[in-house]
Amino acid sequence: MDKDSLHGDCVHNQKPARNTFRRPRAGRACGSCHSKRVRCDAGIRGLPCTNCTAFSLECSIPPKKKEREGETVNGLKRTRPRRRNAQEALAPKESSSSPEPEYADNYAKLIKPEVAASTIQDAGRVFYLAEMSNMSVLIHDYYHPASKVHYQLPLDWEKGPLLPSATDDIELEILRARGALSLPPKEICDKLVNAFFTWVAPIVPIINKHSFMKQYHDPNNPPSILLMQAILLAGSRVCPSSTSMDSSNPFATLFYQRAKALYDADHEKDRVTTVQSLILLGWYWEDPATVTKNVFYWNGLAISIAHGFGMHRSVESSDLSTENKRLWKRIWWTLFTRDRSVAAALGRPCHVDMRDSDVEMICEESFIEGDGEVNKTHAQFFLSYVRLSIVMDRIMVENYSTKAKTNAAVFTQCDQALSDWLNNVPKEVRWEGGRYNFWSCYLHCIFQTARCLLYRAYLPTSLSRSRNVLRWSPAFQSAEVITSLAEELMAHDELQYTPPFMIYTLLSALMVQIYQLRKTSPDLITTSAIKEQISICMQALEQVSKTWLVATMVHKLFENILGWYVPDAPAQETPKAPPFGITVGDLGAQTAAEYSLLNAARPVSTLPVRTKPLTKGLEDYLEAALQIARSSASELRNSYATRSERPARQLNRPAPQDKGLLFLPEDEELKWDEEDRPRTPASTGLNPDVWSEFFG
């Protein structure tokens, strides 16, 4: 074959070239345009470019950077290696500018069989692996079923340089200087701890008393100092003594400041202990005007940390011990009850979404501890409290949320849920006439508050056609029962032991009673009876203010609204009663000095001796509330009895299991009748809608 024929065959077999346009690559930009990241025409126009000419800049093309040989730390020459294949290109490489931390390997340890299969020996160091986590694919598919989401962290997890295992020396010195690492004498701690387990623990059963007391009496293995300060804080609120409860407030502030300092310093590494302590920090409620450090903040923070290590998930299939499984369940349902109570009292959104939780319903078995004995009254109180909180959550969601639609069907469902709860109250906490029990009394205070919360949503903002409905509204009945229950607590001198939710309970009753006084026809109600109920609620609120300073603000607010306001009397110097039956000197030099500083920092009282001085935040909060009510309270002041006219009232115990009358709104709109419609805007006193929004 000759060359011509071969050339012809090659030309014949060659595929025609594709006629494509290739955009010419722009020339290099000058130094000025490159630094400003703008388009440069130096490659087309030449130097100087248009930009440099316009701005009278020096125009030059910078030299190309060449791959130069560098020197290692040892002074040896090295060149940049070329990646020869994809495996080498994807292989991890060390970075000389930002070396990887040593603890990065800890995440890889989680997928090792010996780590993933290890039992949980330390409940405070649990790793939560949700189903949506990418790492769960590696662990669930190879080592464990998908139902397991809790794992023990490796023992050396916190050995990295950025995760110190203990608080540094400087922080420890600061904590010592603030007294955060010191405790009162043993006899004081004994009183406060005993008061905590008597009056606080049944409401928040988050501490294993058997394990805690074992550590408490063991000097070689004491309980967490953060948890100890938090327990002393809560116990100081309810410590029984022969002196006034006012004397406990400086110590509550002292313990709060110590516990807060320990938390801010990240002193506690056990996350379960941290959650327990944060819940108890909510027992300090002196200044609701503080936006970021109130009970809503501390409880939300505890919930967030609990979510982080999976306390909202079932632990039945985990490797936790039976004792820890029971404790976790109690803590989680405590977080839920606190979340709903705080949301109702403060008018805030809830932190816990139960759609994300699969924790089993708590039962009496969850209260079994080391000795195997269960206080049935305390256990049944909390179980009933949990069920009531679920109903309260439904009331808030379906009647007060942004997407709520109040109608007869929704109302009937919520009302039926309350009736079912009342019909199934265990005998240990059932309210029965002639048999007083603190936990039964307080539980039914919560129940009647929930009823007020439901029926308040259906009270008309104006007089309706059916005025008889207003007379027999269960909201009015619940307010009357709350008044009677408060009388019972005062008669047994135990109102001071109620938690701060009691303030909201009394507030709900007062709101409904004032509404009833202003919005119902005088010929259909006994006005003096309503005034009498208001008087008793105000007395109860005054007693609660001896424990909770925020109640002083609420009490003073209603004094102004109702015309009971007493002008500030000259300050009277009163001797400081020794708290808990001891003298300040018995607390030790450091604690005594802090106590003196706290008293010196508190404003000098210009109120009568019966009240406590308000903080600056509470004074501002009170002034803002009074500005809302001042314009509409004058008529109410004129129609209400003064202090000297308060009628005497016999103790009226609520009837046992009083379900009241079923209340259904006849007209959801509840408009005025044309004949009753006012022709001019009337100053009708307190507007319940404004107060509902203001106080939640």
- Tokens 């209603």, residue located: 558
- The residue type of 48 is P
Q: For residue 151, what are the β-bridge partners?
A: 127
pLDDT greater than 80 at residue 103: no
Q: Give the pLDDT confidence score for residue 495 in this predicted structure.
A: 95
684 pLDDT tier (thresholds 50, 70, 90): very low
Q: Give the pLDDT confidence score for residue 450 in this predicted structure.
A: 96
pLDDT greater than 70 at residue 693: no
422 pLDDT tier (thresholds 50, 70, 90): very high
Q: How many CB atoms lie within 10 A of CB 216?
A: 18
Which residues are within 8 A (CB) of 74 and not within 5 positions of it... i.e. 6 or more apart? none
Picking from 463, 586, 567, the residue whose alpha carbon sits closest to that of residue 519 is 463
pLDDT greater than 80 at residue 651: no
Whole-number Å distance between alpha carbons of 265 and 65: 49
Torsion of CA 218, 221, 224, 227, to 10 degrees: -20
pLDDT in tens, 497-525: 999 999 999 999 999 988 888 776 665 55
177 pLDDT tier (thresholds 50, 70, 90): very high
pLDDT greater than 50 at residue 559: yes
Q: At what angle do helices 616-630 and 688-695 cross, to 10 degrees?
A: 160
- Residues 482 and 449: beta-carbon distance below 8 Å: yes
pLDDT in tens, 21-40: 555 555 678 888 888 778 88
Q: Give the pLDDT confidence score for residue 426 in this predicted structure.
A: 96
Q: CA-CA distances (angstroms) from residue 552 to 198, 594, 622, 637, 669? A: 25, 25, 10, 20, 37
- Tokens 């994809």, residue located: 86
pLDDT greater than 50 at residue 584: no
Share of the chain above pLDDT 70, in %: 57
pLDDT in tens, 115-135: 555 566 566 566 555 555 555
pLDDT in tens, 277-311: 999 999 987 754 454 678 889 999 999 999 988 89
Q: CA-CA distances (angstroms) from residue 580 to 238, 245, 499? A: 10, 9, 19
pLDDT greater than 90 at residue 440: yes
Of 37-51, 169-183, 186-200, 628-642, which one has max mean pLDDT?
A: 186-200
Whole-number Å distance between alpha carbons of 301 and 259: 15
The mean per-residue pLDDT over the stretch 203-224 comes to 95
> Could you state, in order of their start, the residue ranges of all structural domains in the chain?
102-165, 179-367, 376-568+615-695
Whole-number Å distance between alpha carbons of 518 and 524: 12
pLDDT in tens, 658-676: 433 333 333 333 332 333 3
Q: Say which residue, 473 or 207, is predicted with more confidence.
A: 207
Q: Where are the alpha helices (DSSP H) in 521-615?
A: 527-544, 549-562, 589-601
Of 59-63, 70-74, 184-188, 307-311, which one has max mean pLDDT?
A: 184-188
Q: Give the pLDDT confidence score for residue 119 in this predicted structure.
A: 61
Judged by average pLDDT, the poorest of 174-178, 328-332, 405-409, 642-646 is: 642-646
Using alpha carbons only, what angle is made at residue 533 by residues 531 and 536, rounded to the nearest 5 degrees? Answer: 110
Q: How many CB atoms lie within 10 A of CB 139?
A: 22
Q: Give the pLDDT confidence score for residue 679 in this predicted structure.
A: 32
The mean per-residue pLDDT over the stretch 453-470 comes to 66
Q: How many CB atoms lie within 10 A of CB 365?
A: 11
Judged by average pLDDT, the poorest of 112-116, 123-127, 390-394 is: 112-116
Q: For residue 128, what are the β-bridge partners?
A: 150
Q: Give the pLDDT confidence score for residue 638 in this predicted structure.
A: 43
Q: Give the pLDDT confidence score for residue 163 in this predicted structure.
A: 41
pLDDT greater than 80 at residue 636: no
Q: How far apart are the first and last CA of the chain?
A: 102
Q: Name the DSSP class of 673.
A: P
Of 25-29, 176-180, 632-636, which one has max mean pLDDT?
A: 176-180
- Tokens 């006629």, residue located: 19
The mean per-residue pLDDT over the stretch 341-345 comes to 94
Q: Give the pLDDT confidence score for residue 151 in this predicted structure.
A: 60
Whole-number Å distance between alpha carbons of 89 and 78: 19
Whole-number Å distance between alpha carbons of 332 and 515: 37
E strands, 230-307, where? none
Q: 405: which 2 tokens?
A: 């639609």
Judged by average pLDDT, the poorest of 359-368, 576-585, 609-618, 625-634 is: 576-585
The mean per-residue pLDDT over the stretch 615-637 comes to 50
Q: Give the pLDDT confidence score for residue 437 in this predicted structure.
A: 94
The mean per-residue pLDDT over the stretch 349-357 comes to 92
633 pLDDT tier (thresholds 50, 70, 90): very low
pLDDT greater than 50 at residue 100: no
Q: Give the pLDDT confidence score for residue 509 in this predicted structure.
A: 95
Question: Cis peptide before 665, with omega less than 30 degrees from 0?
Answer: no
- Residues 442 and 383: beta-carbon distance below 8 Å: no
- Residues 178 and 258: beta-carbon distance below 8 Å: yes
The mean per-residue pLDDT over the stretch 584-605 comes to 42
Question: b/e for 290-301, b at 16 or more Cβ within 10 A?
Answer: eeeebbbbbbbb
The predicted model scores a pTM of: 0.67
- Tokens 């955060």, residue located: 180
pLDDT greater than 90 at residue 689: no
**Hey, what long-range contacts does 551-555 have (CB within 8 A, 24 or more apart)?**
551/503, 552/611, 552/612, 552/614, 552/618, 553/614, 553/618, 553/621, 553/622, 554/503, 554/506, 554/507, 555/611
- Residues 481 and 650: beta-carbon distance below 8 Å: no
Q: 611: which 2 tokens?
A: 């009240």
Query: What's the mean per-residue pLDDT of the chain?
Result: 72
Q: Say which residue, 408 or 106, is predicted with more confidence.
A: 408
